[in-house]
Chain A
Amino acid sequence: MAIKRGVSLYSYQQEEWFGRWTWRDQLREVALNLDGADGIEIISEATIPQYPYPSEAFIDEFNTEMARWGLQATTLDAFPDPLQFRRDHVMNDAEMAERLKIDLRLAKKLGMKNIRVLGNTIDSVKLALPLAEELDITISQEIHFPSPIKRDPNSQRYNKIMDILEYIEKTGTKHYGFQPDFGVFRTAPSDVYLGYYFRMAGYEEYAEHVKAVMEAFKCMSYEDLVEWAKKTYPKVFNGGWADGELRPASAAPEELKLIAPYIYCVHGKFFHMMEMPDRPGEYEDLAVDSEGAIRVLKEIGYEGYIDSEYEGQRSQQDRGEAYLASEIEEVRRHQKMLKRLIEEA
Chain B
Amino acid sequence: MYDSFLVRKGSLRNFKEDGKVAGFCFGVRIANYRGVFLSLHNGYYVEVDGESYPVALQRFGVNGKPPRSFEELKNNAVYEHWDMQDEATLYIMKEGGLTPGVHRVGILESILCSYGRMPRDEEIVKNPPVPTPNVHGQGGGGSKTTDVSYFDLELQE
B2, B3, B112, B146: the one within 8 Å of A17 (CB)? B2
Knowing A17-B29, A50-B81, A86-B74 touch, does A45 contact B34 (C-beta < 8 A)? Answer: yes
**The 10 nearest A-B residue pairs measured at CB:** A119-B116, A119-B115, A45-B34, A13-B33, A46-B34, A90-B121, A83-B112, A87-B75, A82-B117, A45-B35
B85 interface hit (Cβ, 8 Å): yes
Docked CA distance A91–B37 (Å): 14
Interface residues of A in 45-99 (CB under 8 A from B): 45-46, 49-53, 79-91
Cross-chain pairs A/B with CB under 8 angstroms, 21 sampled: A10-B33, A13-B33, A16-B85, A17-B33, A46-B84, A51-B81, A51-B83, A52-B81, A80-B116, A81-B113, A82-B114, A82-B121, A83-B40, A83-B114, A84-B78, A86-B112, A86-B128, A91-B117, A118-B115, A119-B115, A320-B4
Query: A242 to nearest B CB, angstroms?
Result: 12
Contact B3 A318 (CB under 8 A): yes
Name which residue of chain A comes closest to B35, CB basis.
A45
A46, A52, A79: the one within 8 Å of B113 (CB)? A79
Docked CA distance A80–B121 (Å): 13
Contact A84 B121 (CB under 8 A): no
Contact A86 B124 (CB under 8 A): yes
Name which residue of chain A comes closest to B30, CB basis.
A17
Binding site for B on A (CB under 8 A): 10, 13, 16-19, 43-46, 49-53, 79-91, 118-121, 241, 314, 317-318, 320
Contact A241 B113 (CB under 8 A): no
Docked CA distance A36–B123 (Å): 50
Contact B39 A85 (CB under 8 A): yes
Docked CA distance A51–B34 (Å): 11
Chain B interface, DSSP helix/strand/loop, else mixed = loop
Chain A interface, DSSP helix/strand/loop, else mixed = loop
Chain B residues with CB below 8 A from A120, complex form: 116
Binding site for A on B (CB under 8 A): 1-5, 29, 33-37, 39-40, 74-75, 78-79, 81, 83-85, 112-118, 121-122, 124-125, 128, 144, 146
A50, A80, A86, A317: the one within 8 Å of B125 (CB)? A86
Name which residue of chain A comes closest to B118, CB basis.
A82
Q: A45-B34, A87-B78, A88-B125 are in contact. List 13 more A-B contacts (CB 8 A).
A: A43-B33, A45-B35, A51-B83, A83-B39, A83-B40, A84-B40, A91-B117, A119-B116, A120-B116, A121-B117, A317-B2, A317-B5, A318-B3
B33, B35, B115: the one within 8 Å of A51 (CB)? B35
Name which residue of chain B comes closest to A46, CB basis.
B34
Docked CA distance A44–B5 (Å): 23
Chain A residues with CB below 8 A from B114, complex form: 81-83, 119
Docked CA distance A43–B74 (Å): 24
Docked CA distance A143–B135 (Å): 28
A52, A79, A314: the one within 8 Å of B144 (CB)? A314
Chain A residues with CB below 8 A from B34, complex form: 43-46, 79
Query: A176 to nearest B CB, angstroms?
Result: 17
